[in-house]
């Protein structure tokens, strides 16, 4: 029988999270209906009402598509727990093999299938109904399927070996496993970041050196001015799939590179692209990534330590329908398998309260964005190129110009457009 404190925490957190998100999205929807087509005085010469009307329709369609997905995904999450799906899959996996490593792999794959299947129809609707309707998607059904298969294979290649390592650690370092797992997670993340630009990203997109020589020289001077060494400035064939635009830094060490979407190169002029790069350099010069790591790494160790305490509690297993008798077994492999099976459920019991963490992280993320904007304006000698770039990107991507403050606080890691424009001024 599934019940108990952890089960109640899971239900309460899931329910609270669901209601909270629905309320926030509804507040944004009502605000959009009332103010979505209003053009702020500062943007009178940049925006047309027709564009804002299109933005409102686009955002509304995304909102109306999100509602059933939110209901279905939350219902599925609750159903899988209440129905005893996870302990049933655990017993099934255990019946197939006595090998803990193989059992963990089977369990992990089978428990990930329901949510993956649920997302397919919603992703299809989003890609081929909404994104195509508003001129963003260039995706074909064949490309959609191939990308999906690539993602599945890539996730298997990356995650399954990691699970095997975690299993080995739990079997052979039962007392201090949380320290080793944290260290392995950090090393793995750094390794993926290192190989991503040269091995992983090219699986989906083509990266070529920036063709615009004049712009290339301009950007290289900017990099030199900031003391930023990159392996190159590349343009990505993003338009093959979507007309949305972006630019980013990726990798580190010798594999550190700058990537500009080909759509971005078409939408912005050279000065605006320089300002966008200046913003990204602001994150580098202000050590934002290092500061975030200084916070996130200790939190990782703390979280793993707390999980190490939780998985010793028999009530955690019985609350979710598992038998806790295996914990008394002398078979370390069986114990490790059970512990790895319960960890996702242990974390899910508290995930419903992540909105508190989201609120805090968004606050500091927006603070970093303002600081990077300021750096770009100072670096380029003016904030005008950055402001015009932000306005164009906002317009081209049909993003909302203004949102309710409470919505921004909980849902935006970047400040809304008008806040950024006013701050840059």
The catalytic residue positions are 280, 373
Rounded to 5°, the CA angle 335-336-338 comes to: 65
- Say if residue 257 is exposed, middle or buried (CB neighbours under 10 Å; 0-12, 13-18, 19+): buried
Which of 283, 261, 271, 225 lies closest to 383 in space, CA to CA?
271
- The 10 Å CB-count burial string (b at 16+, else e) for 169-200 is bbbeeeeebbebbbeebeeeeeeebbebbeee
Q: How many CB atoms lie within 10 A of CB 157?
A: 10
Residue 358 CB partners (closer than 8 Å, separation 6+): 410
Spatial separation of the C-alpha atoms in residues 115 and 422, rounded to whole Å: 41
Please state at what angle helix 141-172 crosses helix 100-125, rounded to 10 degrees.
150
Q: Would you state the structure tokens that stand for residue 164, as one six-digit string?
A: 């095997």
Spatial separation of the C-alpha atoms in residues 309 and 314, rounded to whole Å: 11
Residue 310 CB partners (closer than 8 Å, separation 6+): 316, 346
Residue with tokens 């197939």: 96
Q: Would you state the structure tokens that stand for residue 237, as one six-digit string?
A: 């064939």
Spatial separation of the C-alpha atoms in residues 370 and 415, rounded to whole Å: 8
Q: Tell me the CA distances in angstroms from 116 to 23, 110, 113, one per residue in order.
A: 26, 10, 5
């Amino acid at each position: 029988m599934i019940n108990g404190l952890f089960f109640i925490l899971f239900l309460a957190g899931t329910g609270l999270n669901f209601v909270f998100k629905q309320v926030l999205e509804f507040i944004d929807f009502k605000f959009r209906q009332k103010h979505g087509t209003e053009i702020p005085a500062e943007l009178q010469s940049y925006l047309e009402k027709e564009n804002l009307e299109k933005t409102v329709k686009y955002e509304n369609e995304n909102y109306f598509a999100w509602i059933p997905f939110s209901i279905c995904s939350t219902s599925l999450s609750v159903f899988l727990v209440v129905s005893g799906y996870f302990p049933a899959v655990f017993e099934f996996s255990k019946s197939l093999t006595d090998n803990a490593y193989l059992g963990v792999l089977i369990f992990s794959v089978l428990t990930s299938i329901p949510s993956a299947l649920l997302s397919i129809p919603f992703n299809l609707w989003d890609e081929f109904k909404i994104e195509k309707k508003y001129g963003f998607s260039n995706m074909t059904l064949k490309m959609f399927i191939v990308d999906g298969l690539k993602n599945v294979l890539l996730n298997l290649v990356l995650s399954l070996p990691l699970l095997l390592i975690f299993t080995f650690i739990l079997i052979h370092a039962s007392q201090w496993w949380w320290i080793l797992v944290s260290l392995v997670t950090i090393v793995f993340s750094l390794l993926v970041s290192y190989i991503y630009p040269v091995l992983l990203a090219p699986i989906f997109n083509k990266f070529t050196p920036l063709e615009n020589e004049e712009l290339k020289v301009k950007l290289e001077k900017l990099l030199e001015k900031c003391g930023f060494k990159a392996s190159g400035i590349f343009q990505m064939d993003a338009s093959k799939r979507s007309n949305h635009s972006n630019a980013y830094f990726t990798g580190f060490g010798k594999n550190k590179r700058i990537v500009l979407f080909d759509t971005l190169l078409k939408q912005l002029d050279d000065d605006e692209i320089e300002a966008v790069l200046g913003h990204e350099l602001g994150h580098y010069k202000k050590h934002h990534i290092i500061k975030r790591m200084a916070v996130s790494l200790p939190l990782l160790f703390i979280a793993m330590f707390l999980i190490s305490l939780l998985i010793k509690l028999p009530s955690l297993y019985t609350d979710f329908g598992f038998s806790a008798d295996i914990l008394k077994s002398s078979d370390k492999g069986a114990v490790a398998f059970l512990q790895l099976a319960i960890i996702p459920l242990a974390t899910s019991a508290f995930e419903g309260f992540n909105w508190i963490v989201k609120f805090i992280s968004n606050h500091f993320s927006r603070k970093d964005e303002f600081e990077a904007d300021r750096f770009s304006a100072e670096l380029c000698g003016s904030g005008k190129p950055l402001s015009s770039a932000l306005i164009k990107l906002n317009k081209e991507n049909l993003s909302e110009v203004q949102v309710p403050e409470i919505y921004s606080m909980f849902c935006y890691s970047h400040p809304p457009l008008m806040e950024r424009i006013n701050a840059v001024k």
